[in-house]
Every structure is written in structure tokens, then in C-alpha cells.
Structure 1
Amino acid sequence: MLVLLPPSETKRVGGDGPPLHLPDIAHHAELGEVRSELVGEVVKLAADLPASRAALDVSERQDDEIARNAQLYDSPTMPALDRYTGVLYDALDARSFSRAVSSRARSRLAVGSALFGLVRADDPIPAYRLSAGSKLPGSGTLASRWRPVLDPLLARIAGGELVVDLRSGGYAALGRVPGAVTVNVLAERPDGSRSVVSHHNKSHKGGLARLLATSRAEPSDAAAVARIARRAGLTVERPEPGHLDLVLPA
């Protein structure tokens, strides 16, 4: 099973790994060319602060993130799962994995990235700023550049193992996963009506990712994923094949 996560806008800075070496990142044969092009463009763009702010949709107060983009080739790296921070990754809490489950858990986790396409948990990456909706000057959308290489890669992965796709819409658009299990987080009100959870959505998906990554079970379909969640006390429904609703009291 592969649990596919969205990245986070916020990232831990620093690291003690060597500078970026793209062949060290998983799936380099399929994704290396686009990765190299994007890294080069982002580094070059960082020399123009106004253009970078516009492309990355950041303010002057975030110029330190542009400065980090300028140093992508030279700054230290750390494992991707440790690099990303924020609500989902706080709930996942990968740093607390016991030694007994860490290897299995980290082998099951991957992140969809606007800059690198797809990274595995232990891939060494630097801090960077590039979102799925970023618009680099003189080029098409990031989806138009990633899908020709990500679509076939993700289809091949999905042909060999179950993929639980927890990415948000913008990142899911970078590469489609045929047959993936997808998840909505819904709040149920006292009157029985439901609404999509927005503010705490990432936290609950991070908790679900932790359950799946650390489980001894090897689920092969949505029903098996639902069973893992239910054993942990979660309320999960299957409104349609390949899709789960995680239902929370409002």
C-alpha cells in the first residue's frame, strides 16, 4: 500500500544531509527531466524578487522563502517526511514512529510535490517554495508539465499496490492515480445533515495516514482500508466504490 500525501506550504529549514542531488530522489528515471527543469527555473526566478512574489503568490514578508529557492542546489537536505510541517504532518507525527514500525510506515508514505513530482518519505530534499498553483513565467501550468510523466508513473504504481490518495485537489491534478482510494472528511450535525470539513480536514487525514502507515494489515481495497479505520474507532462509510467518507460529529 502507498499512502499519497499532499505537501505543506511550511517546511522545516536546515538539515544535515548533503546538497540536492536529483538522482537520489525516487523515480528519477521517469521524473528527473522535469525536476531538473523546474529546479533550474525556480533558482533563476529567485534573482527577481517581484517576479518571484508574483509567481509564488507570496508577500515581501516571505522573501526568506525566495532566498531559500535561490539556494536549492547548495542548501542542506533532510528526509522529505521530516521536511514538511503543518497540521497534517503534526497529526501524522512521523518522528514518533517506534523503531518496530518506522521502516514499514515510511515505506508506505509518499508526497506529491509541485517541484519534485513524487517523493518518498526518506528522499533527501531541501527547503523550497513552489505550490501546485504557482505560475512560473514563460511556461504552462505545473499540471501540464507534470501529468505527461506523473500519470504513467502513478498508473504503474497503482497497478502493483493499493494507493490511498489523500492529496488536495490542486496536487491531485498534477498526476492521476487510477483506482486510488480517495477520502472526504465530513462533519455530521445533530440534525443528521453533513458538510465537508475544511479547517480540520488536514488533521484528520494526517491521523488516518498514521493509522494506515503503521498498521500491520496489508489492505487491498477501500473496504479493507475502512476496516483499519473502524478498528481505531473512526466512523467510515463507503458511498461509492473506491471512495470513503470519514464522518465526524460536528
Structure 2
Amino acid sequence: MLVLLPPSESKWAGPARGAPVRLGALSAPELTAAREHVLDALVEVSARPDAPAVLGAGAGLADVVRANTTLRTRPAAPAARVYTGVLFDALDLPSLRPAAARRVLVVSALWGLLRPRDRVPGYRLSMGTELPGVGPLAPFWRPHLQRALQPAGVVVDCRSAAYAAAWAPDAATAERTVAVRVLRDGRVVSHAAKHTRGLLARHLLTRPGRVPRTPGTLLDAACEAFVAKLLEPARLGGTWTLEVEAP
């Protein structure tokens, strides 16, 4: 089982001291050249006066955007601690056992893919951005992630739409990929979706018993803690959908 997550918009800036990011030491080292390209472009644009507007950040986040200029030198920390916010608070990545944490991948606009143990600084960059020198980020990352991400077993896809655009499973992987949709009273919700996805991911990663290996056994595991149902793919080569009622 692999749990695919989006990053959080809010991020911990990191410790005051420590070693900076080492791109070659991150998971999926085949992404190093692509990471270098995006990182160089982000550092350059973040020094511009119009950087907040270019990066889709409000004027109140000017200091956060300006901090992107120090991404190569600022101390790094485990991604499990850097990512904060509703989903990650509910999931509580730092408390997961190593075997469970290895089943988590974060799709990132800057790094492509990250494992919870990968050490990175906090940053400001969203997948929906058109980054000068790179272009729209989802199409940029798509071929790189297609080669780097070849998951085995069932995939629990908790990504938002912008990050889902950066990687789509091939036909063989789609048969065992399950996108999570959150409902309340039968209606799709966004406000509670992140919290519910975090709770679901934590349940699936910490529950006793066998790890789900198929969409059907994933549904069984989800139903231990949630009201849920599994929808078959709407088209040939499509993914399954797990509808979960927000608690």
C-alpha cells in the first residue's frame, strides 16, 4: 500500500541550525536534475519585487516568498516536520513507525516526490504556478514522475486536483489506485476533506492486521473507522473512488 499526499500550503520554516538540503540525498535521485532546474528558477523569481504575485501569494506572504532565496543555504528538516496544516496535523507523520512512514509519498511542486524522512527547508511554491524559466509545474513534473513513480500494491490517492495533474497512473496501476473523496450528508465537501483524509491515512497506516492489497480490502480497512463505499472506475483505465463520510 502507498499513500499519496499533497503538500501543505503552510510549512514549518525549519530549525535555526543544521545542514542545508542535499538534492542528491533525497528519495528518487533520478529527479535531481529536475529539482535543480525548479529550485534555481524559484530562487531567482523569489528575489524579484513582483515575486508574491508571480507565485500566487498574497502581499502578506512577502517575507515567506523572500525566504525562498535562501533555500540552498537554510537548515533542512525532515519533511514529516516541515509539512503542517489540517491534513498533516490529523495524520501526525512524525509519530508514525518507520515501516508505516515508508508507505507515504508527498507530491511536491518543488521537489517532485518526497518521503517523510527526506530533509528539506520550508518553501512557498504551489503546483498550479507557472514558474518563469520552467513553465506550468504540473506538465513539467508529469513525465519525470511517470518514470520515478511506479508503485506496487494498492495506491491510496489523497492528493488535491492540482497535484493529481502532476502524476496519473498508467492502466495497470489505475486498476489498484483509489482516489479518496470526502462527503458530508451525501455532498462532496472541501472544508473537512483535508482533516478526514489525514484521519483516514493515519488509520490505514497504523491499524493492526494485514496491509490492504486491493481496492476491496482497502474498503474493508476504511470501514473499520469510517462510513465509506467504493465506486468502480467510471471508464476503462480509470481509477477507483473511495467515498468517505466526514466524521
The two structures share one fold, judged by TM-score above 0.5? yes
| Aligned residue type for 2:9 | E
Contact 1:19–1:77 (8 Å) recurs in 2 = yes
Q: What residue is the counterpart of 2:21 in the other structure?
A: 20
| Aligned residue type for 1:125 | V
Which of 145, 151, 154 in structure 2 is aligned with 1:150? 145
Moved over 3 A (4+): none
The alignment yields a C-alpha RMSD, in angstroms, of 1.5
Contact 2:102–2:115 (8 Å) recurs in 1 = yes
Q: What residue is the counterpart of 1:174 in the other structure?
A: 166
Listed one character per residue, the Cα deviations across residues 216-244 of structure 1 (whole Å, up to 9, x for unaligned) are: 42111111111112122x11101215221
Which of 184, 195, 204 in structure 1 is aligned with 2:181? 184
Q: Under a length normalisation based on structure 2, what TM-score does the superposition of the two structures give?
A: 0.90
Q: In structure 1, what is the Cα distance between the partners aligned to 2:180 and 2:119?
A: 28
> What are structure 2's unaligned runs of at least 5 residues?
234-239
* Percentage of identical aligned residues: 40
Which of 102, 105, 108 in structure 2 is aligned with 1:107? 102
| Aligned residue type for 1:55 | V
Q: In structure 1, what is the Cα distance between the partners aligned to 2:195 and 2:35?
A: 29
Q: In structure 1, what is the Cα distance between the partners aligned to 2:71 and 2:231?
A: 44
Task: Report deviation, 1:49.
Answer: 2.5
Q: What residue is the counterpart of 2:245 in the other structure?
A: 247
Alignment of 1:224-243 (within 5 A): 224-232=217-225, 234-241=226-233, 242-243=240-241
Contact 1:2–1:164 (8 Å) recurs in 2 = yes
Contact 1:17–1:124 (8 Å) recurs in 2 = no
Q: What residue is the counterpart of 2:90 in the other structure?
A: 91
Listed one character per residue, the Cα deviations across residues 68-113 of structure 1 (whole Å, up to 9, x for unaligned) are: 200000001111111101100111122344xxxx112211111010
Secondary structure, aligned partner of 2:231: strand
Q: What residue is the counterpart of 1:11 in the other structure?
A: 11
Secondary structure, aligned partner of 1:91: helix
Q: What residue is the counterpart of 1:33 in the other structure?
A: 33
Contact 2:9–2:124 (8 Å) recurs in 1 = yes
Secondary structure, aligned partner of 2:105: strand
Q: In structure 2, what is the Cα distance between the partners aligned to 1:8 and 1:129?
A: 10
Contact 2:153–2:214 (8 Å) recurs in 1 = no
Task: Report deviation, 1:138.
Answer: 4.2
| Aligned residue type for 1:143 | A
How many residue pairs match? The answer is 234
| Aligned residue type for 2:25 | D
Q: In structure 1, what is the Cα distance between the partners aligned to 2:42 and 2:154?
A: 33
Q: In structure 2, what is the Cα distance between the partners aligned to 1:54 and 1:247?
A: 37
> What are structure 1's unaligned runs of at least 5 residues?
189-193
Q: In structure 2, what is the Cα distance between the partners aligned to 1:221 and 1:153?
A: 22
Q: What residue is the counterpart of 1:191 in the other structure?
A: none
